[in-house]
């Protein structure tokens, strides 16, 4: 399989999304998700899963560790940052502890 990563394209995406308030790690996850989604031998009909852990600031200025997970219904080949909604890691870890 051919490596489709392009440093220039990746950095352009980071710069373009930075203007919209999207951080580097999430922008790069969008880039890699699009690379995967654009390869029909890897995913069917745009489906599949990607995620990344980042720090995010909420509307009142508090910073949280979050997991951004590709949402259902988003085509990986054309995904936008909104297609990777954030879930607070603390809440996930608490919920996991309930299972035990």
Does residue 52 fall inside a structural domain?
yes
Does residue 1 fall inside a structural domain?
no
Q: Report pTM.
A: 0.91
Write out the DSSP string of 39-80.
Answer: -TTT-STT----EEEEEEE-TTS-EEEEEEEPPTT--GGG--
Give the CATH number of the domain where residue 12 resides.
3.40.225.10
Structural domains of the chain, count: 1
Confidence grade of residue 38 (pLDDT, cut at 50, 70, 90) = very high
Does residue 11 fall inside a structural domain?
yes
Confidence grade of residue 45 (pLDDT, cut at 50, 70, 90) = confident
Mean pLDDT of the chain: 94
Does residue 2 fall inside a structural domain?
no
What is the strand order of the sheet 51-57 is part of?
51-57, 63-69, 86-88
Does residue 54 fall inside a structural domain?
yes
Does residue 12 fall inside a structural domain?
yes
The whole domain housing 51 covers 7-98
- Measured between alpha carbons, how far is 46 from 78 in angstroms, rounded to an integer? 9
């Amino acid at each position: 399989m051919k490596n489709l990563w392009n440093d220039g394209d990746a950095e352009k995406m980071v710069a373009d999304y930075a203007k919209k308030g999207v951080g580097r790690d999430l922008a790069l996850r969008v880039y890699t998700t699009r690379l995967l989604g654009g390869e029909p031998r890897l995913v069917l009909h745009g489906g599949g899963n990607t995620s990344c852990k980042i720090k995010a600031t909420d509307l009142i200025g508090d910073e949280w560790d979050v997991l951004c997970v590709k949402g259902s219904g988003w085509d990986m080949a054309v995904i936008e940052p909104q297609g990777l909604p954030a879930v607070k890691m603390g809440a996930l870890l608490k919920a996991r502890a309930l299972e035990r």
